[in-house]
Homo-oligomer: A and B are copies of this chain.
Amino acid sequence: MSIPATPTAAAAAVLDDASLDVMFREARSANSFSAEPVDAETLQAIYDLAKFGPTAMNTSPLRIAFVTTAEGKARLLPHIFEHNQTKATQAPVVAILAVDTEFHEQIPTLFPHAPERKALFEDPEFRIPSANFNAGLQMGYFIMAVRALGLAAGPVGGFDTAGVDSEFFADRPWQSKLLVNIGKPGENPWFDRLPRLDYATATLTF
């Protein structure tokens, strides 16, 4: 499978300061959203960036439901904890980030040179933690992809996952893990930046 290749120029480039601000330093979780819509092409563009992030054996277990219509919002909102409902109502799109608990069915597509690896994941005791771990990485890539396209992301963990799953995923083995409000920030969208752990607390060097 190893293909000789010259590292691309892109692989050696460092992002400029403005881009580092967009992605990390100035990026914030928006708590309000403007009415400006987010079109279907942009949602696909978010996916088409986030999908490239690495996962173990390319298993890519993240699945996404984009809730964009008034009808969809009406189905979603009752499952969101009350203090999170206003921002989900405002946001033009709420993405339900979910894990495909049967992701191994896609291994022949995703790992075509070794489709037999699917058998490694028959046991749910191994498969489900792997799904959760790798989908978690992908949720990080997803939030970064939203920001890369100039939109604010507002991750929300306060919702009834079982309620969302039975409302939206009754016909498929997807389990919701995180909501992400997506749009342009509205009025007073940011809280104060909270502290982060200093380098000496969060890291060791050997």
Contacts and interface: CB of A to CB of B under 8 A. Distances in A.
A65 B56 CA distance: 21
B52 A25 contact: yes
A120 interface: no
Interface residues of A, number: 96
Q: Which of A155, A177, A197 lies at the interface centre, i.e. has the most chain B CB atoms within 10 A of its CB?
A: A197
B40 A205 contact: yes
- Copy count, this protein chain: 2
A126 to B, nearest CB: 12
A119 interface: no
Contact of A157 (B13, B26, B56): B56
Given A20-B49, A56-B157, A2 B191 contact: yes
B145 A24 contact: yes
Interface of A: 1-5, 7-8, 10-16, 18-29, 31, 40, 43-44, 47-54, 56, 58, 60, 62-69, 71-72, 75-76, 106, 109-112, 132-133, 136-141, 143-145, 148-150, 152-153, 155, 157, 168, 177, 184-185, 188-192, 194-197, 199, 201-206
